[in-house]
Amino acid sequence: MLDKTRVDYIPVLDFAKFVNGNLSEKEDFASDLQWIQEKIGFYYLVNHGVDKDLINAAIKQIENFHLLPIEEKFKLKVDENAAGYVPIKSTIYVTSDVAKNDKHDLNENYRIVKDRESDHPSILAGRRYTGPNKWPSSELLPSFKNTMLEFFSAMETLGYSLLPLYARALGLKTDYFKNYFTDPMWFTRNVHYPAIKGEKNQFGIAPHSDHGFITLLPVSNVSGLEVKTQDGTWITGEYIPNAICVNSGDFMKKWTNGRFIATPHRVLPPKQERYISAFFFNPNWDVTSAPLPGCHDEQNPSKYEITTFYEHLCNYVDRNYSISSGGKALNS
């Protein structure tokens, strides 16, 4: 049972209760998610169906990638397509509305997008964040590509499995989101947070909210994540073995007209090396942020500029990432 008398914690949801529950139990579960999304914006998901050994194997591959010599990683450096290696100190989250961030973030990441064929319409159109990916040499990392593709496939399946739950939490039919995710524009940040001490007001990732629909993050046993509650308190994320941390982003906030919140969070520089994979599950590129049914009326008009998801994503990355790292920010 959720404690709905307080908002200073990150709740745990057992996904098996939704998948295997009867109709009444599913509706109760959706009601719990609605409360979480309106009051907290973060939760831990257990019994989610993603194999723990696959998660561990993927995290190990991410570690192996970041242990490569810097010259090998720079061969895969991110370009205008926004897939590839992003060096340390490449971001300053100027879009944050909870902090004035003026120091570069202390993380390096390897951005991998949904793998598409070379003749996919989005690739032929030159659309950013749609590929092609840049993969490390199989001689250096022989198991990397196959392991990561298997892991991302499992995470994408989980994302699809959550759509009926989010639809019911918004009072919509379970299949409402089906046509909005026929070619989801998901991508991943596969991150190394080095164990180094930052300057004052410098973080692994500075206070920000995520860009998209939902973020799926397998929980690390190395601490660092902090979440800002609606009363202004920063709370530390827990280590819950085999859980996936889920939070909603700015596009979800816009799409629900502010009903579902995009909660600010940050990552402190860790005391030991930290490796994670953040999976950003997003709708098709041309889906617009026009408020969903039940999220606006004459008394509650649309609060945000209506854009496509692609426009929204480009604006977010371009403002926060340096020119040399796939964005257009001049603060590099």
pTM of the model: 0.95
pLDDT(85) > 50: yes
Domain membership flag for residue 163? yes
User: What per-residue confidence (pLDDT) applies to 79?
Assistant: 83
Average pLDDT, the chain: 92
pLDDT exceeds cutoff 60 at 121: yes
Q: Does 231 or 287 have the greater pLDDT score?
A: 287
Residue 330 covered by a domain: no
Helix/strand/coil (H/E/C) assignment for every residue in the chain: CCCCCCCCCCCEEEHHHHHCCCHHHHHHHHHHHHHHHHHCCEEEEECCCCCHHHHHHHHHHHHHHHCCCHHHHHCCECCCCCCEEECCCCECCCCCCCCCCCCCCCCEEEEEECCCCCCCHHHHCCCCCCCCCCCCCCCCCCCHHHHHHHHHHHHHHHHHHHHHHHHHHCCCCCCCCHHHCCCCCCEEEEEEECCCCCCCCCCCEEEECCCCCEEEEECCCCCCEEEECCCCCEEECCCCCCCEEEEECHHHHHHCCCCCCCCCEEECCCCCCEEEEEEEECCCCCCECCCCCCCCECCECCCCCCCEHHHHHHHHHHHHEEHHHCCCECCC
Average pLDDT over residues 246-250: 97
118 within some domain: yes
| Cα–Cα distance measured from residue 133 to residue 122, given in angstroms and rounded to the nearest whole number | 13
Residue 7 in any domain: the answer is no
- Pair 251, 312: CB distance under 8 Å: yes
Distances, alpha carbon 278 to alpha carbons 129, 214, 217, in Å = 15, 10, 5
Contact 37, 261 (CB under 8 A): yes
**The pLDDT value given to residue 98:** 61
Closest CA to 105 of 290, 321, 284: 321
Domain span at 251: 12-325
Radius of gyration of the chain (CA): 19
CATH of the domain at 159: 2.60.120.330
- Residue 226 falls within a domain, yes or no? yes
Residue 332 belongs to a domain: no
d(CA 194, CA 256): 36
Q: Confirm whether 259 is domain-assigned.
A: yes
d(CA 49, CA 47): 6
**Count of domains observed in the chain:** 1
Tell me the mean pLDDT in the region 271-281. 97
Residue-wise pLDDT tens digits, 5-19:
999 999 999 999 999
The larger pLDDT score, comparing residue 207 to residue 95, is at 207
Residue 138 lies in a domain: yes
pLDDT of residue 332: 45
pLDDT value at position 209? 93
pLDDT for residue 96 is more than 90: no
Which comes out higher in pLDDT, residue 130 or 326? 130
